Structure 1
Amino acid sequence: MRTHHCNELRSAHIGETVTLIGWVNTVRDQGGVIFVDLRDREGLTQCVFRPEESPEAAAASHKLRGEDVVQVIGKVAKRLEGTANEKLGTGEIEIVASELVVVNKADVLPFQLDKELSNEDLRMRYRYLDIRRPRLSQNLRTRHRVTKTTRDFLDEQGFCEIETPILSKSTPEGARDFLVPSRLQPGSFYALPQAPQQYKQLLMVGGMEKYFQIAKCFRDEDLRADRQPEFTQIDIEASFVGQEDIIKLVEGLMGRIFKEARGAEIPASFDRLTYREAMNTYGSDKPDRRFGMHITDLGDVFANSTFKVFSGALQSGGVVKAINAKGFSGITTGQVEALTQIAVQAGAKGLAYIQVRGETVDTWRSPITKFLQPEELEAMKAKLNVETGDLILFAAGEWEHSCDILGRVRLACAGYQNLLEGNEELNFLWVTEFPLLAKDEETGRFVAVHHPFTRPLKEDEEKLMNGELSTELRAQAYDVVLNGYELGGGSIRIHEAPLQAAMFKALGISDETAAEEFGHILDAFRFGAPPHGGLALGLDRVVMLICNEQSIREVMAFPKNNKGSDLMSQSPAEVDPKQLRDLRIQTVKKPGTAAQG
């Protein structure tokens, strides 16, 4: 239906008769001569309809409006002197139309495609129109480029792409599963996979050695800008490897992806921080290092303080830490309240601060300076490099909570100060040596920080085997981070039955429960499981950062909104009661309605 696309014709084509087809982008009437910008996925071409060239086509062009689908036949001509558009690839030429075929008329659109729309729900209701916007269309094409580059790179490295089941078994992996009832086995349920974790490990037992998959994953959890109920992973697993092999592979993959999809050169190897170093310095296990504002430990400064908030924290084995938001002493009352709310939501009782209004401590403004000794303030001033105009913010208490509180406050301060405005730096980082175990605050039991197949560091294996359990045990786990986002994470896996048994015991999983929940993979480990490990990258987040977007919804074709709804297809929705009867399911009756099923 066309000889060229709408961003293909150039001066070299002048004189040729061509056929284009696409959507009417704009219509302009210049004294009876109609100019139409015709658009397809590739770009725009200007078409001109003159009565003297074709009265029929010119007459029909007067009836065109935006988003009509039309076919234009005509000759390529040079634009008149002074009318070239340097912003368009086709800006030196135009099509002098001899024929116009209206393929399909468009109704009045619910919103204009050439203007930004703040109503995201309206955009998602008419997502198929939203995709016509160049920005979203380009994002989806960038996503294609990322997945193609991934496949090409991993194929070159000897990896096989293998699909794993979508209908699987519900196992305790951290997030809530989406369940699918079985009609053939009433009362039994499949689960949609949170990740292909166990299947890819079984492929290693099966001797495939190098596996990857562009895998759909599902988690029934609360949503946010970088989280959806269904998302896509670049899932990788390999046998006979250690942590360094996986890190080197992923660095090579990221280098290829960012070069092909964004034209960016990134370092061949990334900086590394241990989990403890990242928390101590940035208050986050996915730190944004594009600005300073490092966290500083002030335990030595306030070791003998009479200020009970600080002394109490230190005496109970906790910490006193602070950040210096340089040049932010002019913080408003509203901003103080907002930062305090952030700290409280992270578990703090409040947020202590000092506004440095002058060189001497008696000019400082703070609700806590009256409780601090002059020598303490002077020591703190030296340690934090305090200058006039700075803002000091504190956290005191248990180590991890204090780091987390200041990490969140640090990001909020950077936002208020516009420290990242216009910053296009790509700051990659590996965070390693995550804790193997964490304590569940409600039950007091140990839980796996990643999953129960994560291998401890060699130095901590013996402690796990001997039952010497603590949150100090470290895992052979690693995350790759970019600009404050976790792009992906992985680990070296446990492949021996005795070590796996010790891990289950640490988690309070009985032999019976282990056999019930994980019997298939435990059985597989009995038959010569190879050493193996891997990593999963969040494809949506990778593409989001390549496209400089703030939400993964902007790089997904048909996302859900923040309530998990597809506004375009109106799902989730109630189903025919017969379907529920076939599944032997009855829904809970809502007040004033009849129960389904």
Structure 2
Amino acid sequence: MYRTHNCGELRLKDEGKQVKLAGWVDRIRDLGGVKFIVLRDRYGKTQVVVNPDSPVYSIVNTISREDVINVEGIVRARPNEAVTSEPTGEIEILAEKIEILSKSELPPFYPGDEVSEEMRLKYRYLDLRNPKMANNLIVRHKMAFYAREFLTSKDFLEIETPYLTKSTPEGARDFLVPSRLKKGTFYALPQSPQLFKQILMISGMDKYFQIVRCFRDEDLRADRQPEFTQIDIEMSFVHTEDVLNLAEDLIRYIYSKVGIHLPEKFDRIPYEEAMEKYGSDKPDRRYGMELHDLTIHFANTQFKIVADVLAKGGSVKGFKTHIPMSRKIADEYSEFVKTFGLGGILWFKIENGQIASTTAKYLENEYLEISKAFEMKEGDVVILAAHDNRERLNEALGALRLKIGKEHFKVEGFDALWIVDFPFLEWSEEENRFVARHHPFTMPYVEDLENGVELSKIRAHAYDMVINGYEVGGGSIRIHRKDIQEKVFDIIGLTKEEMEEKFGFFLEALKYGVPPHGGIAFGLDRLVTIAVGADSIREVIAFPKTSSGTCLLTNAPSTVSQKQLEELGISLR
């Protein structure tokens, strides 16, 4: 055998044992003729000692970092002055035999070196030798394992759904796969197993889950990849409360298994309240700085910029913080909110017990009122803005609040909450129509439909779980009545022909006795990213794509041969 133990396993209790280890050479040191090799594998590191009189002493001179070697020897206690805090820090191996299993050329970098992300992704196999990166994948494995354990204990069945399915483009762009056997037709890779899991509920499976790959052909950001992994869940005969309680228990359980303890009960905040207080439907409340409506303090203002906004029915909103503030910083923040359609910001601070601001001479009374309302102290700052579009104002101030929070405050712990009562629809400028905010299979509030509520005001039985400012899961109660489903398709502008072409098979299934059902899908990549404190989901995916969708390891996507294209009946232009 190559090894009797791994490199993170041996302890002082193993002293005197004859052992074999195998792994990569992490470091080599020479201290007065005695050579020390630090041997590394996925489990940890163990120090190997080679004395000058050892028969294997000469072989050490031929060994380099990242060589793969086999070591046999005796476990012994380290001298007191050489003991370290590592798990194996009390012992070392006195080498009797060493075999080089594989030589390494000089690598472009060593595991853990500070290099560009492009370099790390190109040589991902070297990057994953870094214990930090290996730990990310270990945490990911544990979270997936314990999700399966928890859901299985609650009578859920893990059922696989197809990867090659029908294109139903209501949402992000599909990845298309050409069919060789039926030329001119295409499969789509699933954006989610949504319709299949609903059909499983119609089939009587009652409780389904799947840890499943999903695919979306969309522009990428730090928390997006073209392929990603969901913990996908669906349940029959449930209301919103049933799904939220189950989902909360699941996430608390899998986080506890990796040493993170979330609150016993997650707060539930309606969408409208979240937007008014934080300017975001995925707020990180650890920063504080809630948004407040300050319009009343400007009722009699003579400051034209604000007065003009109020004359159009607009609002003034702002938040209190405690940061260094100057004209230069204010100009930077003004430029930032301009990208959201605002004209800029106003601000003032308490300095030497007085109101200080570039606009204090125009707005001194208004600022004094606000300072009293906020109970401001020395060094406190209020940042505010005005606009006649309330949604745009909230969004801009919410983004500025988050920018300031990340730049100036180090926050710890975990803020977990639910956002509920989302709008059912949102206006798409690109398509010039209302589209479903979550997806068109979400159950709207039936009373809103029946009472002719304005389309933008229809509420949905939808919910998102948010942890530390990241949406980690989203779901809804689903439509289980064919008449409501057809009405929703009609509202979002589908003709009868389009309904039949895109969703005919699903509408057919809705005829045959459908239980009320609902579910949720969690982004496993995001859950792990938060758990390990990484900045990007690329840090917790073994072989991720770049922000342009490229795999630097394999150079995918790549061209294919003319013969392959001809077999598929495809020509390129």
TM-score range, shorter chain: over 0.9
Alignment partner, residue 578 of structure 1: 563
> Which deviations, in whole Å up to 9, do the C-alpha atoms of 1:74-104 show, x marking residues without a partner?
111122342222x222212111111111111
Equivalent-residue separation in structure 1 for 2:223 and 2:462 (angstroms): 22
> Which deviations, in whole Å up to 9, do the C-alpha atoms of 1:274-307 show, x marking residues without a partner?
1111111111100001121110001222234344
Query: Could you say what the CA RMSD is over the residues aligned between the two structures, in angstroms?
Result: 1.8
Please tell me whether the aligned partners of residues 131 and 137 of structure 1 are also in contact (alpha carbons under 8 angstroms).
yes
From 405, 417, 427, give the equivalent of 2:415.
427
Please tell me whether the aligned partners of residues 355 and 366 of structure 1 are also in contact (alpha carbons under 8 angstroms).
no
From 90, 93, 96, give the equivalent of 2:91.
93
Runs of 4+ residues deviating >6 angstroms? none
Please tell me whether the aligned partners of residues 467 and 502 of structure 1 are also in contact (alpha carbons under 8 angstroms).
no
Are 1:392 and 2:377 matched, yes or no? no
From 545, 554, 558, give the equivalent of 1:560.
545
Are 1:313 and 2:314 matched, yes or no? no
Are 1:481 and 2:469 matched, yes or no? no
Equivalences for 1:362-441 in 2 at 5 Å? 364-367=356-359, 369-372=360-363, 374-395=364-385, 396-417=387-408, 419=409, 421=410, 423-441=411-429
Alignment partner, residue 595 of structure 1: none
Relative to structure 1, the CA distance from residue 241 to residue 582 in structure 2 (aligned partners, 3 Å threshold; closer, same or farther) is: same
Q: 1:309 Cα shift? A: 3.7
**Which range is displaced more, 383-392 or 542-551?**
383-392
Equivalent-residue separation in structure 2 for 1:522 and 1:356 (angstroms): 62
Are 1:8 and 2:9 matched, yes or no? yes
Q: 1:140 Cα shift? A: 0.2
Q: Which amino acid aligns with 2:122?
A: R
Alignment partner, residue 542 of structure 1: 527
From 497, 510, 513, give the equivalent of 1:525.
510
Q: Which amino acid aligns with 2:425?
A: L
Alignment partner, residue 591 of structure 1: none
Relative to structure 1, the CA distance from residue 581 to residue 312 in structure 2 (aligned partners, 3 Å threshold; closer, same or farther) is: farther
From 448, 452, 455, give the equivalent of 2:436.
448
Equivalent-residue separation in structure 2 for 1:302 and 1:133 (angstroms): 57
Q: Which amino acid aligns with 2:68?
A: V
TM-score (norm 2): 0.96
Please tell me whether the aligned partners of residues 313 and 398 of structure 1 are also in contact (alpha carbons under 8 angstroms).
no
Q: 1:408 Cα shift? A: 0.4
Please tell me whether the aligned partners of residues 34 and 62 of structure 1 are also in contact (alpha carbons under 8 angstroms).
no
> Which deviations, in whole Å up to 9, do the C-alpha atoms of 1:500-524 show, x marking residues without a partner?
1221222122222111111111111
Alignment partner, residue 278 of structure 2: 282
Equivalent-residue separation in structure 1 for 2:565 and 2:256 (angstroms): 50
> Which deviations, in whole Å up to 9, do the C-alpha atoms of 1:543-566 show, x marking residues without a partner?
001001111011000001111111
Q: 1:542 Cα shift? A: 0.3
Equivalent-residue separation in structure 1 for 2:202 and 2:432 (angstroms): 34
Alignment partner, residue 61 of structure 2: 62
Equivalences for 1:253-292 in 2 at 5 Å? 253-261=250-258, 263-292=259-288
Please tell me whether the aligned partners of residues 201 and 514 of structure 2 are also in contact (alpha carbons under 8 angstroms).
yes
> Which deviations, in whole Å up to 9, do the C-alpha atoms of 1:305-338 show, x marking residues without a partner?
3444434434444322111222x253461x4343
**Which range is displaced more, 105-114 or 140-149?**
105-114
Equivalent-residue separation in structure 1 for 2:137 and 2:83 (angstroms): 30
Give the secondary-structure state (helix, strand or coil) at the position aligned to 1:82: helix
Equivalences for 1:173-184 in 2 at 5 Å? 173-184=170-181
Alignment partner, residue 166 of structure 1: 163
TM-score (norm 1): 0.92
Equivalent-residue separation in structure 1 for 2:324 and 2:94 (angstroms): 64
Q: Which amino acid aligns with 1:582?
A: E
Please tell me whether the aligned partners of residues 353 and 378 of structure 2 are also in contact (alpha carbons under 8 angstroms).
yes
**Which range is displaced more, 538-547 or 439-448?**
439-448
Q: 1:183 Cα shift? A: 1.6
Alignment partner, residue 112 of structure 1: 110
> Which deviations, in whole Å up to 9, do the C-alpha atoms of 1:20-61 show, x marking residues without a partner?
111111111223322111111111111111243x32x11111
**Which range is displaced more, 176-185 or 545-554?**
176-185
> Which deviations, in whole Å up to 9, do the C-alpha atoms of 1:137-188 show, x marking residues without a partner?
0100000000000000000011011111111111123111111111222221
Please tell me whether the aligned partners of residues 294 and 323 of structure 1 are also in contact (alpha carbons under 8 angstroms).
yes
Number of aligned residue pairs: give it: 571
From 331, 335, 340, give the equivalent of 1:346.
340
Please tell me whether the aligned partners of residues 339 and 412 of structure 1 are also in contact (alpha carbons under 8 angstroms).
no
Alignment partner, residue 48 of structure 2: 47
Please tell me whether the aligned partners of residues 465 and 499 of structure 1 are also in contact (alpha carbons under 8 angstroms).
no
**Which range is displaced more, 389-398 or 33-42?**
389-398
Alignment partner, residue 210 of structure 2: 213
Relative to structure 1, the CA distance from residue 95 to residue 240 in structure 2 (aligned partners, 3 Å threshold; closer, same or farther) is: same
Equivalent-residue separation in structure 1 for 2:299 and 2:146 (angstroms): 55
Alignment partner, residue 193 of structure 2: 196
Relative to structure 1, the CA distance from residue 149 to residue 70 in structure 2 (aligned partners, 3 Å threshold; closer, same or farther) is: same
Equivalences for 1:455-470 in 2 at 5 Å? 455-457=443-445, 461-465=446-450, 467-470=452-455
Give the secondary-structure state (helix, strand or coil) at the position aligned to 1:301: helix
Give the secondary-structure state (helix, strand or coil) at the position aligned to 2:141: helix
Equivalent-residue separation in structure 1 for 2:37 and 2:155 (angstroms): 50
**Which range is displaced more, 16-25 or 314-323?**
314-323
From 484, 501, 504, give the equivalent of 1:516.
501
Equivalent-residue separation in structure 2 for 1:341 and 1:579 (angstroms): 51
Relative to structure 1, the CA distance from residue 383 to residue 442 in structure 2 (aligned partners, 3 Å threshold; closer, same or farther) is: farther
Please tell me whether the aligned partners of residues 334 and 345 of structure 2 are also in contact (alpha carbons under 8 angstroms).
yes
**Which range is displaced more, 134-143 or 104-113?**
104-113
**Which range is displaced more, 557-566 or 382-391?**
382-391
Q: Which amino acid aligns with 2:88?
A: T
**Which range is displaced more, 89-98 or 287-296?**
89-98
Relative to structure 1, the CA distance from residue 58 to residue 540 in structure 2 (aligned partners, 3 Å threshold; closer, same or farther) is: same
Equivalent-residue separation in structure 2 for 1:512 and 1:462 (angstroms): 28
